[in-house]
Amino acid sequence: MGVPEETERFAARTGPRPDRILAEMERRAVRTGFPTVGPAVGGWLQQLAGLVGAERVFEFGSGFGYSAYWFVRALPAGGEVVLAELDAAELDDARRYFERGGYAGRARFERGDAIEIAANCEGPFDAVLIDNEKRRYVEAFETIREAVPVGGVVVADNVIEGPFAFGTLRRVLEGSGDDTDGERHADAARGIGAYLDHVGSLERFETTLLPLGEGLAVSRRRR
**pLDDT (0 to 100) of residue 189:** 87
**pLDDT (0 to 100) of residue 169:** 73
Residue 194 lies in a domain: no
Give the type of residue at 127. A
Residue 195 lies in a domain: no
List alpha helices for 33-134, DSSP H.
Answer: 38-51, 66-72, 88-101, 114-119
Give the type of residue at 32. T
Q: Which domain holds residue 95?
A: 5-159
Share of the chain above pLDDT 70, in %: 88
Residue 180 lies in a domain: no
Residue 145 lies in a domain: yes
Task: Give pLDDT tens digits for 36-91.
Answer: 999 999 999 999 999 999 999 999 999 999 999 999 999 999 999 999 999 999 99
Yes or no: say if 155 and 41 are a contact pair by the CB < 8 Å rule. no
CA 68, CA 148: separation in Å to the nearest integer? 17
Q: Which of helix, strand or coil describes residue 128? A: strand
**pLDDT (0 to 100) of residue 195:** 96
CATH of the domain at 14: 3.40.50.150
Residue 219 lies in a domain: no
**pLDDT (0 to 100) of residue 180:** 52
Residue 74 lies in a domain: yes
- The gap from C-alpha 97 to its chain's centroid, in whole angstroms, comes to 18
Residue 184 lies in a domain: no
Q: How many domains does the chain divide into?
A: 1
pLDDT of residue 205 exceeding 80, the answer is yes
Q: Which of 58, 81, 11 is nearest to 39 (CA)?
A: 11
Phi, psi of 156 (to 5 degrees): -115, 130
Task: Give pLDDT tens digits for 88-118.
Answer: 999 999 999 999 999 999 999 999 999 999 9
Residue 122 lies in a domain: yes
